[in-house]
Structure formats: structure tokens, C-alpha cells
Amino acid sequence: MKALVQRVSEARVVIDGNTVGEIAHGLLLLLCAECGDTEAVGQKMLDKILKLRVFYDESGKMNRSLQDVAGGLLVVSQFTLAADTRSGTRPSFTSAAPAQEGRRLYDHFVAQARLRHPCVQTGVFGADMKVHLVNDGPVTIPLTIIGA
């Protein structure tokens, strides 16, 4: 499973002119399920994200987690994180989970996130989304979890 985490001061997802998910201070998470991923892999990813210390403490060090600062989490499905660009100029997405499996893993991830964190918003799996964000820092961190 791959993710791109961005610390944001605000972020929202718009579909056909309608905002479907929105947070203030927190993390925007672009999430990609890959072939062979399981719920356990998703759980490890969620554990990492909720505890990732990317928010400043009173000393100005990145030492606080999303849970510590009670920030929002905006989860957006993003199969293009599985892009293989090693040859040619057209990315291959063969390592991304098939759509049905990707949706199942995404839905499970979101359900678990909502059980563990009070402010979770989402985009819509497979939709053509416009993601608006103000990256705070900027802080952008790629994450990969393999196996569980």
C-alpha cells in the first residue's frame, strides 16, 4: 500500500462543483492499494499515519501526531501512486489493485480510520475529483507498507 501524506492548513475534495469532503488543519492522505495488499497492510498504514509526528510542538520541532493535535484526516483514493515509469513515457499502473479490490481495501481503511479518529473525511472512490489544498510547510511524505 502506498500513500502520500501532506500536512495541510485546509483541504477539500470537489466533485461536479460540490464539496464532498473537507478538513481544516490536518493531513491530506492520497491512498493507493496495490496487488496483494490486505486489511492488515491497511491497518499498519493507518497506525503509521495516525502516529506520524509531523506537527510542531511548543519547541518548534515536528514532534506531534495527528491525534496529538486533533487534526482532520482527508482520505482520497489515488491509484496513480502505483505508477511505474521505469520505461517509456506512459506510466503503467499494473501494480495497482483491481478496482473492486481497491475499493474494498479503501472502504475498510476509511471505516477503521473513523473508528480510531474523530474527524475523517473522504473523496469518492473512482470519481473524477478536484482536490484543493493548502500544504502547510510544505510537508509532503511518501509512505509504503509492504506485507503485514
Active site residues: 78-80
Q: Which of 118, 90, 120 is nearest to 106 (CA)?
A: 120
Nearest to 12 by CA among 71, 72, 74: 74
Residues whose CB falls within 8 Å of the CB of residue 77, separated by 6 or more in sequence, listed in order: 31, 32, 102, 103, 106, 123, 125, 126
Q: Are 4 and 145 in contact (CB under 8 A)?
A: no
Distance CA 81, CA 65 (A): 24
Say how far apart CA 76 and CA 13 lie, in whole Å.
8
Closest CA to 113 of 78, 146, 67, 65: 67
